[in-house]
Structure 1
Amino acid sequence: MYDLVVVGAGPYGLSVAAHAAARGLRLGVFGRPMESWHAMPPGMFLKSEPWASHLSDPEGAWGLDAYAAIRGVRAVHGVPLPVGFFAAYGDWFARQAVPVVDERLIASVEPGTGGFELRTEDGEWVRARTVALAVGVLPFLEIPGPLRGLPRRYVTHSGHHGDLDGLAGRDVTVVGAGQAALETAALLTECGAAVRIVARADRLHWNTPPPALDRGLPTALRAPHTGLGCGWRNKLYADAPGLFRRLPAATRERIFDSALGPAGAWWLRERFAAVRDVRLGQRITSAAVTGDERLRIEVAGRDGTTALETDHVIAATGFAPSLDRAEVLAPALRGALRRVGAGGAPEVGGHFESSWPGLFLTGLLTAPSYGPSMRFVLGADYTAGRLVKGVGRRLRAAGPGRTAGRPRTGGRAPVSA
């Protein structure tokens, strides 16, 4: 029986696993390392600075800078790194800091006597005293209501795409005004698609180039550097998620909805200039497949509603941390968790433990509780050490020698670690 099973092997899952392994826990890690990062389209770059993109291990030995040095790559402030390079860094980190990663996915997590029962995608049952859910953002992708339910042939989310070449020569409408939308539109244009942007925002926002790290004390005090950008408010989000958690619930919800809103990276602006059809202050109100197998969408704006036809729509409209979308959790377990805010995010305690003892959460699901940094790789360092400390406390409280029960329905009996 495992002390801890980590469900997911992205930046948060691997960071939690590295801290758990260092503490000598009986550890299971399930998932394909950095899978969603490897699946991103070629030509994408990290928006975050290299020094804000480390995975976390207790000694700080396996940072992005160490990997870059081995590869002979300059990982310096103000120079964006390819997403593919970051994905390869995550693979290297896993080899250095995590004893074993089982690349099978976990299909379900259920309560069991003394802990949890987890079913792998091939039907094997695994038992664990505690679980850390680190499933990334893809389960929580958000698609505007009028586009939901349409076939993937016509509508996808930006998170679905690992290669955009299949859309070359086609008419593509990208919805959104953030980095994912703007970079996807630029890449599509570069591969020969006819691209338009439709966004509710009245104007596009662009991040400015980062100032030098060494700017002199007066300037640094006025607007300190953080992994989320300059400024004291960003410093709270980046460096003090624990303080953020102590804010009133209504304040946290307001900040989560508004902080670090949609914006394009400074280095993308010149490439994006090739996208000629940008429709701001507009939203899609309806969509339907036409007789000639195109998509007819109606777009409403200040000047009324217009209709247009397109071959494909990519919704680059972000992710919503609704617990209802965490379908890997069995319905009884998911339904029993306490929630916060109108979006139905789970309540998370001081060591990232949910209201169900022994079930720990990471990443986007914890952002309404711990703040905007949990939407980024940056939050993995704050999360990993505290979460594993919480696991230790939970294991001590439960006592040694506890065993899990058998699955309630069908399947193979659980197996011990």
Structure 2
Amino acid sequence: MNRTDDLVVIGAGPYGLSIGAHAAAAGLAVRVLGRPMESWRDHMPGGMFLKSEPWASNLSDPAGRHTLADYCAGRGLVAEHGRPLPISAFSEYGLWFARHAVPEVEERTVTAVAPHGAGFRVTTDEGPPLLARTVALAVGVMPFRHYPRALRALPGEHCSHSSGHRDLGRFRGQDVVVVGGGQAAMETATLLAELGARPRLVARAGRLNWNTPAKPLSRSPLRRMRDPHSGLGTGWRNWVYAELPGAVRRLPAARRERIAATALGPAGAWWLRERFEERVPVLLGHRLLRAVPAGSRTRLALTTAGGEDVVLEAGHVIAATGFVPDLARLDLLDDGLRAGLRRVGTGGTPELTAGFESSHPGLFFAGLLTAPSFGPSMRFVHGAGFAAGRLVGGVRRRLGGRGPLPGSSRARSTGTGRGAGYPTSSVR
């Protein structure tokens, strides 16, 4: 009989790895499936920097022994407030965390998740299906890449998403239009210019927003009270989003949806501004109407706020237009299972309990899909600690509510996982 695990975590980015660390420490029989730090390693161009502060970018283990600062200190790297850290260093930190805080990650691609008895059957691209009592989907952002409607029919040689490039050097000497007005658009355009391409940024907004330089951590008590630091920036509103996701969840659904869609909107990092403005021409207040191939190039039809028509041609178009969470894009979920999930308000994301459990018992979610439930911190690495601890608590409550499934590892053993564990009965 196949082994049945307590928890299968699908995804090995910051959220999946953090959940794996908490689950193992709790003594659960857990498997983590996916390529560790895949989005960071494979879908971000070389030369990018982490936008969040290093102290707000930790993956989470219950004992807090595997922080980004700990990793950097042992390697001669600087992880300090107000100093951007290369994405490559953060990716390596994630791999280090996976080796030291998480059971061995299995680099298998999950192709299907379906109900199976009182649990789930998880099908992968190799080997027999896995059986699990509970499943946590921590699939990151890649399934939710968003393209403006006008670009969706373009073939791949004419248009790509900003997350589709590990090396932007292929565009050296080319005209490239970057569509978008946030950090991904501005940093992509800057890197293109620095690599010898000729980028131009096109944005619907009438102005670009820039974050201000980081305020010192050491400030007077009055200043800290008026404008507190948080993992999502300074200010009381950001502090609430960062530190009280559970409180955000208790708001009405319509308000949560609005917060998830509008809070912490597109803005460039302060340390990028000079590099960007020196090199990248910008068309602001321009809406994209149509895009068609013109031989080997792409022709874009735009309109200004005043109704003026503008036509551009480029060798390639990069859509730096973010990610839109929607259950409909999770093809790996069984159709009936997905269709039966309760949604937040009128949107396409799952309504979740305080323990990140969906309306289908035993199916949990983490990361971007949970932002309309718990707020904007779930769009950032900073939210991984809150999500991992609460989600594993939810898993343990679910497992405690019924006996072991036939053949489950819990029916055969009560041993704990790797790491400094705590009794499996201690959390309710």
TM class by shorter chain equals over 0.9
Q: CA deviation at 1:242?
A: 0.3
Q: Residues of 1 paired with 2:22 and 2:234: CA distance? A: 29
Write out per-residue CA displacement over residues 202-252 of structure 1, whole angstroms, 9 at most, x where no aligned residue. Answer: 101100101100111010000000111100000110000000001111111
Q: Tell me the SS of whatever aligns to 2:282.
A: strand
Q: After alignment, is 361-370 or 113-122 more displaced? A: 113-122
Matches of residues 273-312 of structure 1 in structure 2 within 5 Å?
273-290=277-294, 292-303=295-306, 304-312=308-316
What amino acid is the match of 1:348? L
Q: CA deviation at 1:373?
A: 0.3
Query: Counterpart in 2 of 1:77?
Result: 81
Are the counterparts in 2 of residues 196 and 275 from structure 1 also a CA contact under 8 Å? Answer: no
Query: Counterpart in 2 of 1:233?
Result: 237
Are the counterparts in 2 of residues 116 and 127 from structure 1 also a CA contact under 8 Å? Answer: yes
Matches of residues 370-389 of structure 1 in structure 2 within 5 Å?
370-389=374-393
What amino acid is the match of 1:323? L
Q: Residues of 2 paired with 1:299 and 1:185: CA distance? A: 19
Tell whether 2:43 aligns with 1:32: no
Q: Residues of 2 paired with 1:403 and 1:112: CA distance? A: 14
Query: Counterpart in 1 of 2:24?
Result: 21
Q: CA deviation at 1:8?
A: 0.6
2:336 maps to which of 329, 332, 335: 332
Query: Counterpart in 2 of 1:65?
Result: 69
Query: Counterpart in 2 of 1:56?
Result: 60
Tell whether 2:163 aligns with 1:159: yes
2:119 maps to which of 95, 115, 121: 115
Q: Residues of 2 paired with 1:308 and 1:87: CA distance? A: 37
Q: CA deviation at 1:343?
A: 3.4
Query: Counterpart in 2 of 1:407?
Result: none
Q: CA deviation at 1:402?
A: 4.3
Write out per-residue CA displacement over residues 126-167 of structure 1, whole angstroms, 9 at most, x where no aligned residue. Answer: 100000001100100110001013211111111111110011
Q: 1:235 to 1:367 in 2, by over 3 A?
A: same
Are the counterparts in 2 of residues 110 and 330 from structure 1 also a CA contact under 8 Å? Answer: yes
Matches of residues 117-132 of structure 1 in structure 2 within 5 Å?
117-122=121-126, 124-132=128-136
Write out per-residue CA displacement over residues 82-110 of structure 1, whole angstroms, 9 at most, x where no aligned residue. Answer: 00000000000000011211111111111
Between the two proteins, the alignment pairs up a number of residues equal to 403
Query: Counterpart in 2 of 1:248?
Result: 252
Q: Residues of 1 paired with 2:123 and 2:385: CA distance? A: 28
Query: Counterpart in 2 of 1:413?
Result: none
What amino acid is the match of 2:358? S
Matches of residues 164-243 of structure 1 in structure 2 within 5 Å?
164-243=168-247
Q: Residues of 2 paired with 1:342 and 1:157: CA distance? A: 27
Q: Tell me the SS of whatever aligns to 2:302.
A: strand
Q: Tell me the SS of whatever aligns to 2:401.
A: helix
Tell whether 2:32 aligns with 1:7: no
Q: Tell me the SS of whatever aligns to 1:273.
A: helix
Are the counterparts in 2 of residues 321 and 343 from structure 1 also a CA contact under 8 Å? Answer: no
What amino acid is the match of 2:260? F
Tell whether 2:322 aligns with 1:318: yes
Q: CA deviation at 1:114?
A: 1.8
What amino acid is the match of 2:389? G
Q: 1:380 to 1:202 in 2, by over 3 A?
A: same
Tell whether 2:280 aligns with 1:272: no
Are the counterparts in 1 of residues 367 and 384 from structure 2 also a CA contact under 8 Å? Answer: yes
Q: CA RMSD in A?
A: 1.1
Tell whether 2:47 aligns with 1:43: yes
Q: CA deviation at 1:305?
A: 1.7
TM-score normalised by the chain length of structure 1: 0.95
Q: After alignment, is 122-131 or 363-372 more displaced? A: 122-131
Q: Residues of 1 paired with 2:251 and 2:273: CA distance? A: 36
Write out per-residue CA displacement over residues 362-395 of structure 1, whole angstroms, 9 at most, x where no aligned residue. Answer: 0000000100000000000000011001000111
Are the counterparts in 2 of residues 113 and 403 from structure 1 also a CA contact under 8 Å? Answer: no
Write out per-residue CA displacement over residues 157-209 of structure 1, whole angstroms, 9 at most, x where no aligned residue. Answer: 11111110011111100011100000000000001111111111110110010
Q: Residues of 1 paired with 2:149 and 2:229: CA distance? A: 38
Q: Residues of 1 paired with 2:126 and 2:118: CA distance? A: 24
Q: Residues of 1 paired with 2:126 and 2:233: CA distance? A: 43
Q: CA deviation at 1:342?
A: 3.7
What amino acid is the match of 1:268? L
Q: After alignment, is 249-258 or 376-385 more displaced? A: 249-258
Q: CA deviation at 1:398?
A: 2.5
Query: Counterpart in 1 of 2:425?
Result: none
Q: Tell me the SS of whatever aligns to 1:118.
A: strand
Write out per-residue CA displacement over residues 325-365 of structure 1, whole angstroms, 9 at most, x where no aligned residue. Answer: 11121212111111124431111111000111100000000
Q: Residues of 1 paired with 2:170 and 2:344: CA distance? A: 41
Q: After alignment, is 364-373 or 334-343 more displaced? A: 334-343
Are the counterparts in 2 of residues 354 and 361 from structure 1 also a CA contact under 8 Å? Answer: yes
Are the counterparts in 2 of residues 189 and 274 from structure 1 also a CA contact under 8 Å? Answer: no
Gaps spanning 5+ residues in structure 2: where? 409-428
Query: Counterpart in 1 of 2:424?
Result: none
TM-score normalised by the chain length of structure 2: 0.92
Q: Residues of 1 paired with 2:118 and 2:355: CA distance? A: 20
Q: Residues of 1 paired with 2:388 and 2:155: CA distance? A: 38
Q: Tell me the SS of whatever aligns to 2:208.
A: coil
Q: Residues of 1 paired with 2:154 and 2:407: CA distance? A: 45
Query: Counterpart in 2 of 1:411?
Result: none
